A and B are shown apart, each in its own frame.
Chain A
């Protein structure tokens, strides 16, 4: 199964909320809150986007 490559989105939008199409293949919105990206995505016709707040992934963690 092909890896889902989110690295470019994560690099560009760290600490922002982002919304993707439901297949996770395309960015449809970014913003400072979950509410803002849900509204933006729905305006673009994406009713059930995948959403996440972009973390800093440079921290390696054990636990």
Chain B
């Protein structure tokens, strides 16, 4: 299934250039209560070892985020951030065609605090663990991101 790149800003100094990023809509749920699904827009980031998501989404899904041992992610917006690993369900779907749907369960990190403000993504980073290890992802910049399982 194909997803468009997202234009997030014009680059004012260079009028003919725009900043486009691979942000996609995906679903996330707690396997203990799978009917409640949140659909964030997250950055598909092949440079991230893990998938991590802001604490507000974890709280919505009923996770006691800090109840497990924390880990540290280095290089987030030029700094570090603490994450807490929990098992979640991830859904990638084509909203135009309900037959195209990939679903899996894996460990991801929830942050306990907000992402560093220096980071141009404040919601979700889709990295190797929790995303790329389940899917085949092809970046065709700037036309589309193609995802298959």
Q: How large is the interface on A (under 10, 10 to 19, 20 to 34, 35 or more residues)?
A: 20 to 34
Cβ of B20: which chain A residues have Cβ within 8 Å of it?
3
Number of B residues, CB within 8 Å of A = 42
Report the minimum CB–CB distance from A33 to chain B (whole Å).
7
A-B CB pair tally, cutoff 8 Å: 103
Instruction: Check A34–B7 contact: CB distance below 8 A.
Output: no
Task: Determine the chain B residues whose CB is within 8 A of the CB of A20 once the complex forms.
Answer: 41
Chain B residues close to A by CB (< 8 Å): 2-10, 18-20, 23, 25, 37-42, 47, 54, 56-57, 60, 75, 77-78, 95, 114-115, 117-124, 142-144
**Given A7-B7, A22-B95, A52-B23, 14 new contacts (CB under 8 A):** A1-B2, A7-B9, A7-B10, A7-B18, A34-B57, A34-B60, A50-B39, A52-B41, A52-B42, A52-B124, A53-B54, A56-B117, A57-B19, A61-B119
